């Protein structure tokens, strides 16, 4: 009887220890995702979820870092999440999880995916403010949009693409990640197309758009590689509208020895992309202000929760960097390192 009682006590103790360890492990995982070490662990008043296509990309990590700096002083814990190779969850799944978990706010990269607009409305009906970033869900009940409108982005890209059109330009391909059946309905495609036709003075240049929304990292790489394998269809100018596609195009250009033959209009300023611009592998890349994107996103949610204020549109700065601009930026960075007090 004594032995039986001891066994029961040992089992009970083991269950308590296991429960504690499991809970501690889970909390530690959440803290690590939010960028907290043991000394910084604290109880926050609010939790915001940032749901994006590629949470591990340099672009979104830069946005996330900026968002955390804005969030922490305002008693907000912010987590970044989204599709990855380890799970089969998509952004709609993460939206539903955030709604079920009663997050205090959601920052969402919206690309027109089926069901997301209704999920935004469901969140708002449940008292969870939603801010869309980079692309807007104009027909939803979202509180604010942070980024550059498709019209403005199309105009900016159109101006740049037009500069690279010459007498040898026959084909232009625009790669987007947007849930749209007819690419002609895309404002970005339309503005680039109009700018090219105006620059060329004719409609002889073939301009096509391709949607890569349904592809993950590996599938994007395959899709871009496939473009260069079809020699007859290799474009003279390739326009990339996100970091992942730009990185894949950079690698494909090198693999197929087409540097200088195909002009890449890229997106974002990771170290690899900037190095490619310096070497002439990428002609020019779009530099999005990730600091503004992160800060404004958090600011939009905070303003709504604390004051009930909504700003329908927070504009984020963009700039295009060619080889000359990148070299100048490098020189200025070196100068700043030498003279940190100036």
Give dist(CA 42, CA 38) in Å, integer. Answer: 9
The mean per-residue pLDDT over the stretch 284-289 comes to 96
pLDDT, position 288? 94
Give tens-digit pLDDT for 260-284. 999 999 999 999 999 999 999 999 9
pLDDT, position 186? 82
pLDDT over 90 (residue 38) = no
Q: 22 falls in which pLDDT band (50, 70, 90)?
A: very low
Backbone angles phi, psi at 294, to 5 degrees: -70, -45
Q: 336 falls in which pLDDT band (50, 70, 90)?
A: low
The mean per-residue pLDDT over the stretch 77-101 comes to 92
| DSSP secondary structure of 248-298 | HHHHHHHHTT-BTTBEEEEE---HHHHHHHHHTSSSEEEEE-HHHHHHHHH
For residue 232, what are the CA distances in angstroms to 78, 170, 175, 226?
A: 47, 11, 18, 12
H helices within the chain, ranges in order?
2-33, 58-71, 91-100, 116-125, 150-163, 187-200, 217-229, 243-255, 271-279, 290-307, 323-338
| Residue 218 or residue 30, greater confidence | 218
The mean per-residue pLDDT over the stretch 38-46 comes to 73
pLDDT over 60 (residue 49) = yes
- C-alpha distance across the termini of the chain, in Å: 80
What is the Cα gyration radius of the chain? Answer: 24
* Mean pLDDT of all residues belonging to the chain: 86
Closest CA to 273 of 219, 326, 337, 220: 326
The residues facing 225 across adjacent strands are: none
Give dist(CA 46, CA 63) in Å, integer. Answer: 19
The mean per-residue pLDDT over the stretch 13-26 comes to 43
For residue 66, what are the CA distances in angstroms to 54, 212, 217?
A: 16, 27, 24
Q: Are 143 and 161 in contact (CB under 8 A)?
A: no
The mean per-residue pLDDT over the stretch 68-96 comes to 92
For residue 161, what are the CA distances in angstroms to 6, 197, 212, 235?
A: 78, 11, 20, 13
Give dist(CA 45, CA 75) in Å, integer. Answer: 6
pLDDT over 70 (residue 34) = no
- pLDDT over 90 percentage in the chain: 65
User: Could you tell me the domains of the chain?
Assistant: 46-147+291-316 (3.40.50.2300), 150-289+321-332 (3.40.50.2300)
Q: 24 falls in which pLDDT band (50, 70, 90)?
A: very low
Give tens-digit pLDDT for 296-320. 999 999 999 998 888 889 999 999 9
pTM: 0.81
Closest CA to 130 of 144, 117, 116: 144
pLDDT over 60 (residue 25) = no
Per-residue tokens: 251: 């690698």
Give tens-digit pLDDT for 153-204. 999 999 999 999 999 999 999 998 876 666 666 889 999 999 999 988 878 8
- pLDDT over 70 percentage in the chain: 82
The mean per-residue pLDDT over the stretch 206-234 comes to 85
């Amino acid at each position: 009887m004594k032995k039986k009682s001891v066994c029961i006590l040992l089992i009970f103790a083991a269950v308590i220890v296991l429960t504690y360890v499991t809970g501690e492990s889970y909390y530690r995982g959440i803290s690590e995702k939010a960028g907290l070490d043991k000394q910084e662990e604290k109880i926050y008043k609010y939790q915001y979820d940032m749901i994006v296509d590629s949470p591990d990309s340099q672009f979104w990590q830069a946005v996330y870092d900026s968002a955390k700096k804005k969030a922490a002083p305002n008693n907000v814990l912010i987590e970044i999440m989204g599709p990855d190779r380890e799970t089969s969850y998509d952004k709609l799944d993460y939206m539903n999880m955030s709604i079920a978990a009663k997050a205090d706010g959601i920052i969402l990269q919206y690309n027109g995916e089926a069901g997301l607009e209704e999920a935004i409305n469901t969140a708002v009906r449940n008292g969870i403010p939603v801010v869309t970033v980079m692309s807007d869900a104009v027909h939803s009940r979202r509180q604010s949009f942070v980024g550059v409108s498709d019209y403005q982005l199309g105009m900016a890209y159109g101006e740049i693409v037009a500069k690279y059109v010459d007498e040898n330009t026959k084909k232009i391909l625009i790669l987007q990640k947007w849930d749209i059946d007819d690419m002609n309905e895309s404002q970005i495609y339309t503005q680039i197309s109009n700018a090219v036709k105006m620059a060329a003075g004719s409609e002889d240049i073939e301009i096509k758009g391709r949607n890569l929304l349904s592809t993950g990292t590996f599938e994007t790489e395959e899709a871009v590689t496939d473009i260069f394998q079809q020699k007859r269809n290799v474009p003279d100018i390739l326009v990339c509208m996100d970091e992942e596609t730009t990185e894949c195009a950079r690698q494909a250009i090198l693999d197929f020895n087409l540097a200088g033959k195909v002009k890449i209009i890229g997106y974002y300023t990771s170290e690899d992309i900037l190095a490619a611009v310096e070497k002439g592998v990428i002609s020019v890349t779009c530099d999005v202000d990730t600091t503004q994107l992160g800060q404004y996103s958090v600011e939009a949610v905070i303003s709504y929760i604390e004051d009930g204020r909504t700003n329908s549109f927070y504009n984020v700065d963009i700039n295009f960097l060619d080889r000359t601009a990148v070299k100048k930026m490098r020189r200025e960075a070196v100068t700043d390192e030498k003279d940190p007090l100036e």
